[in-house]
Structure 1
Amino acid sequence: MPTPTAAPTSVQRSFQLWIAAVVVGVLGSVFSLATSATVPNGLLAAGGIVGVVVGLLFLAALVYLALRMRQGESWARLALAVLGGVTAVFTVVGVLLTVGLGVSLGALSTVLSLVQAALIIAAIIFSFQAPANAYFR
């Protein structure tokens, strides 16, 4: 049930960080689409496009959840924490594995991925600070 009081600063900051993470994700998707479209193998390019579309749908779901969280829905905060935590862990592990295997994703793609993971972690931390906890009770 939505809380009638205004969201505290920590919830507002968490919301802003979620939106920033989504913007970085969209930039990463655009970059991925631009680089996959130049690949001569049509199947690989089509797979890249499907991946971008699925990624954009995921980002849209994050925006929806962030809006609901800002309105005081505790289930949305929990969903964001779980989805965001899994995303951040897989992003960092994926970057470390590709570097360890000697595979190059490109500097821009790597930086965007790590920035997005950092924004997600910060958003989760802000959403569980004391004022936020009181807001969601």
Structure 2
Amino acid sequence: MTNPHDPRNQGQPQQPGYPPPAPPLNESELRQPARPKSVDTAYLLWLVAAGISILSNLIGLVIAGDLARETAAALGVSGAAAEPSYGSTIFSLVLVVVWIVVVMQMRKGANWARILLTVLGGLAVIGNLLSLLAFGILFSLGFLGVLSALLVLASLVAIVGAIVFMFKSDSNHYFKVS
């Protein structure tokens, strides 16, 4: 039985004191919006940055002892106090795995992942800028030191690019609708 007061005449009885039921969603409203190219570009840049981080950490394991000695010499600390730290490298590798999981969520349209990546990416940019202070020491370590320094620059570019692409206008619309 239809309610004569139902403006949509949907054939559903209206309960007194409640607003009429919402109309059903059409198929276009049920579909998730198409992922824009800028989100895919940000996704790829985040994966490149993660790959650079993994490579940097592996190089860091190889040059850790030399880097510790060179840093101690530059700071005027005795060589005996310069022991390499491997724990931070291993922790960084574990964080890269978590980072990739968050990047996957960002690609699916999770706005919380976009915000988290922006905050962590900003911290990584600050860390990379501080790493620029050690370029002289890295260049004194030979090929692997030079490669490590260049990876810092590449990481900086990839992270800044990923953040920019995540906040382009079509990306903003995608994250608001998803």
TM-score normalised to structure 1 length: 0.84
- Give RMSD over aligned pairs: 2.1
Q: Which residue of 2 aligns with 1:110?
A: 149
Structure 2: distance between partners of 1:67 and 1:5: 17
Larger-gyration structure (1/2):
2
* 1:37 CA displacement: 6.3
Code of the residue aligned with 1:104 in structure 2: it is I
1:5-24, aligned counterparts within 5 Å? 5-24=33-52
* Runs (5+) with no aligned partner, structure 1: none
Aligned partners of 1:126 and 1:57: how far apart in 2? 26
- 2:94 corresponding residue in structure 1: 57
- AA in 1 matched with 2:53: G
Query: What residue ranges of structure 2 are gaps of 5+ in the alignment?
Result: 1-30, 70-79, 139-144
Structure with the higher helix share, 1 or 2? 1
How big is each residue's C-alpha offset from its partner over 1:80-117, in whole Å with a ceiling of 9 and x where there is no partner? 0010011112211231x224xxx512211111111111
Residue identity matched to 1:13: T
Contact 2:52 2:155 in 1 (8 A): yes
Q: Establish whether residue 124 from structure 1 lines up as the match of residue 163 from structure 2.
A: yes
Give 1:16 shift.
Answer: 0.4
Letter in 1 for 2:151: L
Instruction: State the percentage of identical aligned residues.
Output: 28
Deviation of 1:34 after TM superposition, in Å, equals: 1.6
Query: Partners of 1:6 and 1:20 in 2: how far apart?
Result: 23
The equivalences for 1:1-137 within 5 A come to 4-36=32-64, 44-45=83-84, 47=85, 49-95=86-132, 97-99=133-135, 103-105=136-138, 106-137=145-176
Distance 1:27 1:62 in 2: 15
CA distance in 1, matches of 2:130, 2:58: 22
Which structure's relative contact order is higher, taking Cα pairs within 8 Å and 6+ residues apart? Answer: 1
Aligned residue type for 2:163? I
Question: How far 1:44 sits from its partner (Å)?
Answer: 2.5
Normalising by structure 2, report the TM-score: 0.65
Are the counterparts in 1 of residues 38 and 166 from structure 2 also a CA contact under 8 Å?
Answer: yes
